[in-house]
Amino acid sequence: MAASLAKAIEKGGVVGAGGGGFPSHVKAESEADIFIANGAECEPLLAADSELMRLAPDRVVRGVELMRDAVGASRAVLAIKRKNEELMRSALPDGGSIELSVLENVYPAGDEYLLVFDTTGRVVPEGGIPTDVGVVVNNVTTLAQVADAADGRPVTTRMVTVQGAVESPGTFLTPLGTPIRELLALAGWKQDDGGAVIAGGPMMGCLASDLDQPTTKPVGGLLALPGDHVLVTSRTATEEQVLRVARAACCQCMACTELCPRWLLGHDLEPHRTVRAIQYDTIGLDDAHITSAYLCCECGMCELFACPLEIRPRRIMASLKAELVRRGVPNPHSRSDIEASDVREYRQIPTSRLVARLGLSDYDRAAPLSDRRPEPHSVRLLLRQHVGEPAEPVVEEGSRVVEGDLVAEIPEGRLGARVHASITGVVSSVTPDSVIIERRGG
């Protein structure tokens, strides 16, 4: 059962749709006693998972059942926010074979480590993954795609919410590889206004490099913002600026640590100490407050909510992590005997407070599924939309493809995911990075 589902998922090119992009066939081969479906969608303003659950709850439930059975779990839990409780409760099978866990509307409730703790009371070890404590977690959009893959339908589309400084926010069922400018135009974004676009959620998303950037499997949101918005400037500040401000201004108030979700979970991560450590030129890369960057999930709470002085501990952690990897310094943190902090429950930040703090209240609007469908003239399918090696093209320029045809395969024996045509047409470009398809014929 597990092997055949994993094979179907691998064939269908399913990867973590909640932002992680981890190939889902590998998870289907894991063993666990609890399976959790992650429907928390904790990034503010995004609605892609909620809209999917509203429109196709049965696909999510089928995906849960398939994955629960594949990993051999005796319990399956669907974790959702209260706004989706009624809808999903009515979609669950009779008899309680899938439990419902209703989460508080706090950020980052959907972080896998926090979700595992809130749902099971188990703490994932430092540097570990949920299977270390007998749990497998999948996002609900991923689970709908698992159900599709089991029926032989590969991943070719996904829901994408477009929010922010747009006239008509909405969620769009989008062929993969669609230029983001087409989605922004459908939502009424005025490009003349200038501004910038974050691909993903406001907390963890990345600035879009350009408007021709294509949509990908893990990204469920686009947020258009004025160029001087703090969510933009926090991302455009150079590394030098980030370090200079941190060295000059940090008052060691500890607010970043006191609200750090991983510290509150008991992990040995104290961003205020890391910010202090980088004040000293003599600090070694093996210092515990430097290597603790490995424990950071880059949720952004420290810099976008906690710090009163525009210091960017998350940016510092991300840079340190990259440097540690580049220098081949292994993660020395692996404690598993961990207890969550007693004060954790009082330090949860309601999403509404976060939205206000981020200056997003004006953009906190409904974004239901739009009946306007993106119909791109061409799509650019990135060959690395996932964790692992880029997929290898199996088509050539001039090849005719039909939506759902395989265009790139996982390299032999490597971790990766397949890529399929998201529209019917002709392949106009093949490079090691992408395959472009132009819409021609039907």
317 binds ligand SF4 (CB under 6 A): yes
Choice from 254, 338, 340, 406 touching ligand SF4 (CB under 6 A): 254
Helix axes 57-71 and 140-150, enclosed angle (nearest 10) = 80
**Shortest separation between residue 251's beta carbon and ligand SF4, angstroms:** 5
Choice from 251, 285, 356, 402 touching ligand SF4 (CB under 6 A): 251
314 binds ligand SF4 (CB under 6 A): yes
- Which range, of 158-166, 190-198, 250-258, 426-434, touches ligand SF4 by CB under 6 A? 250-258
- Which range, of 236-244, 296-304, 371-379, 434-442, touches ligand SF4 by CB under 6 A? 296-304
**Shortest separation between residue 183's beta carbon and ligand SF4, angstroms:** 28
309 binds ligand SF4 (CB under 6 A): yes
382 binds ligand SF4 (CB under 6 A): no
- Which range, of 45-53, 54-62, 140-148, 249-257, touches ligand SF4 by CB under 6 A? 249-257
| C-beta closer to ligand SF4: residue 73 or 301 | 301
* Binding characters for ligand SF4, 31-70, by CB under 6 A (x = yes): ----------------------------------------
Choice from 47, 124, 250, 381 touching ligand SF4 (CB under 6 A): 250
262 binds ligand SF4 (CB under 6 A): yes
| C-beta closer to ligand SF4: residue 253 or 426 | 253
Choice from 272, 289, 315, 384 touching ligand SF4 (CB under 6 A): 272
307 binds ligand SF4 (CB under 6 A): yes
| C-beta closer to ligand SF4: residue 146 or 275 | 275
**Contact present, 170 and 370 (Cβ < 8 Å):** yes
| C-beta closer to ligand SF4: residue 3 or 251 | 251
Among the listed residues 225, 232, 228, 188, the one whose alpha carbon sits nearest the alpha carbon of residue 362: 225
Q: How far apart are CA 228 and CA 54, in angstroms?
A: 35
386 binds ligand SF4 (CB under 6 A): no
311 binds ligand SF4 (CB under 6 A): yes
Q: How far apart are CA 79 and CA 89, in angstroms?
A: 11
297 binds ligand SF4 (CB under 6 A): yes
| C-beta closer to ligand SF4: residue 217 or 315 | 315
Choice from 13, 202, 271, 374 touching ligand SF4 (CB under 6 A): 271
| C-beta closer to ligand SF4: residue 179 or 300 | 300
Q: Could you identify the residue written with the tokens 């960017």? A: 312
Q: Which residues bind ligand SF4 (CB under 6 A)?
A: 250-256, 260-262, 269, 271-272, 275, 296-302, 306-307, 309, 311, 313-314, 317
